[in-house]
Amino acid sequence: MVKNSLFFKKAEFSEIKSYAKRLNSESESGEIGYYDLPNFGDEIIKEAEDFFKDKIYDNIVLVGIGGSSVGVRAILRALRAKKMRARLRILDNIDGFRFDTITQSIEFDKTIFIISSKSGTTVETISIFKAILDFYKPSDISKNFIFITDNGSKLEKFANQNNAKVFNIPKNVGGRFSILSAIGLVPMVALGLDAKALLQGGAQCKADFFDEKDDTLLQKAYHYATHKYAKINVLFSYCDRLAGLNDWYVQLWAESLGKKLGHTRFGLTPIGLIGSKDQHSFLQLIMDGTRDKTVSFIKILDQNSEKKVPNLSLENLDDLDFANGICMSEIINLQCDATMHALINEGISVDLIEVSELNERNLGYLFYYFELLTSAVGIMFGVNTYDQPGVEIGKRILKSLILKEQI
């Protein structure tokens, strides 16, 4: 169960209905592929299950950056309480120290490497892949390596020539919108997690929005898109295990909505916080600082732990006995409530996402929910939510700097 409640004034339906219509047509046009991912993943799951069925491995090393890894890490961290079939390590930065640390801690024969790059030409990913090949010098790439990439990419061609297994991402699904595609599903199957439930959660969110016509998400998007002062959106997640989801949200939001149209610049800045610990750091700025933020809280109702603060009274510290006998997860959720109340009293725009527990289905729901929210704000801004022209220039400069070095 995932439930969103808004604590700010809703707009009249007449103000938002044209956006609902445009989101509908965008979804139905088939041009933006992520909308349909919940309906098309079963085949990939079957393919992955067949592939991993007879394999023996202790470790999975995912080599991928940006959209190829940030969602997988969100799943891995959120589902930490689940039993997994192997240990997943992620190489998402071109860092020799980290490369050495990971290669020293795994046995090649018991490791599956997933090389994940949508374009197939991400220089960091391919360079790390080369370093792995150079380090282990495998005679047969098809044994320990699988590839996730676009149909027809150069990386796919390389994989095919080496008879290695390739999983494709649909061409019209952008990297940061791809977590319900092979990008997320294949690592989940490899870990023994319930990838089908992830898709079902996404499908549920889709149905709530498009079939049940629940207008909560659209109201929230409209509030964000039209807010005069609040250009920063805080996601305040009250559970350590949601740190990865925060990071995934930050990249989705930042890269999708930071756009220019002619000379006009758009953009909402995302920030991910973890409660209650960030109450001891960032909260002061939200409470007393410039009024430029909205805050979205996430609360996990069942946190897979019955651990209580014991009924112990310590000499001189009995002032704090008010927490005795209470479940730690209940305290963290009460802290969420307390902070929410304080912000609402200050007139800050707040909403609450309640999640019954951290499982595959709810995660799938949350992924789809934030993707839809992003699309909705993008439509309201009138920008292209799905490209990233601003990061290409840095890539070109990098190449020219490296070539200059070599002269």
What positions carry a catalytic annotation? 255, 280, 395
User: Can you name the residues that pair with 234 across neighbouring β-strands?
Assistant: 271, 295
Judged by CB under 8 A, the chain residues 47 through 86 that form the site for a copy of itself are 65-67, 70, 80-81
Q: Is the Cβ of residue 11 or residue 320 nearer to a copy of itself in the bound state?
A: 320
Q: Which stretch binds a copy of itself (CB under 8 A): 19-27, 185-193, 362-370, 382-390?
A: 382-390
Other CB atoms within 10 Å distance of the CB of residue 240: 13
Q: By the 8 A CB rule, do 153 and 166 touch?
A: no
| Only segment of 21-29, 203-211, 236-244, 365-373 that touches a copy of itself (CB under 8 A) | 236-244
For a copy of itself, the binding residue among 116, 219, 279, 349 (CB under 8 A) is 279
Q: Go through the chain and tell me how many residues it has.
A: 407
Quick one: 133 or 207, whose CB is closer to a copy of itself? 133
Angle made by CA atoms 301, 340, 254, in degrees to the nearest 5: 85
Binding flag, residue 398, a copy of itself (CB under 8 A): yes
Look up residue 11 and give its DSSP letter: P
| Residue 222 touching a copy of itself (CB under 8 A) | no
Cα(198)–Cα(363) distance, integer angstroms: 6
Whether the ω angle into residue 29 lies within 30 degrees of 0, i.e. cis, is no
Whose tokens are 């007449």? That residue is: 14
Q: Does 347 bind a copy of itself (CB under 8 A)?
A: no
- Work out whether 106 is an interface residue with a copy of itself (CB under 8 A): no
In whole angstroms, give the CA distance from residue 240 to residue 358: 11
Residue 115, strand partner residues: 63, 147
Q: For residue 243, give both structure tokens.
A: 């740190």
**Of 42, 49, 50, 100, which one interacts with a copy of itself (CB under 8 A)?**
100
**216 forms part of the interface with a copy of itself (CB under 8 A):** no
Tell me the window of 19-27, 213-221, 259-267, 367-375 that interacts with a copy of itself (CB under 8 A): 259-267
Question: Terminal CA-to-CA distance of the chain, rounded, Å?
Answer: 59
Smallest gap from residue 2 Cβ to a copy of itself (A): 20
Sole binder of a copy of itself in the list 9, 14, 53, 310 (CB under 8 A): 310
Find the part of the chain contacting a copy of itself (CB under 8 A) among 8-16, 32-40, 163-171, 271-279.
271-279
